[in-house]
Amino acid sequence: MKLLLDNNLSPKLVSLLADAGHDVTHVRDHGMASADDSSVLALATETSRVLVSADTDFGTLLARTHATSPSFVLVRRVVGRRVPELAAVIADNLLMVEDDLEAGAVVVLGNESLRIRRLPIP
């Protein structure tokens, strides 16, 4: 799966998720470390990547605009997690929601929960 990691996630996740078989870039790879949320969403759309972030604002932007893409994975409870643990949580759950993300969805990954909402969000 093609992923774009937001600036609030460690760039160290790139190699770990790539090792799990994903095509991963970080916003910093695109010179967008300080880009606003709309620009990050546009980049994810233009590059056909699923946006992965800990920022809840992306879900709000997708809902407000009734967008059908890009798909978005919201990772909850990031604070205190080590990078390898976070990579494992993301990689393990992506397999279960791959079809949803390909169709356009917001996926919320919590400690013990997984929620899926198809796009567009009314």
Full-model pTM: 0.95
pLDDT at position 80 over 80: no
Domain boundaries, the chain: 2-118
Beta strand extents in 1-122 (DSSP E only): 2-5, 23-26, 50-53, 72-75, 105-109, 114-118
Domain 2-118 coded CATH 3.90.1200: no
pLDDT at 31: 97
CA triplet 112, 116, 62: central angle to 5 degrees?
125
Q: Provide the β-strand partners of residue 50.
A: 3
Whose CA is closest to 72, among 83, 63, 85? Answer: 63
pLDDT in tens, 19-61: 999 999 999 999 999 999 999 999 999 999 999 999 999 999 9
Instruction: Express as a percent the part of the chain with pLDDT over 90.
Output: 90
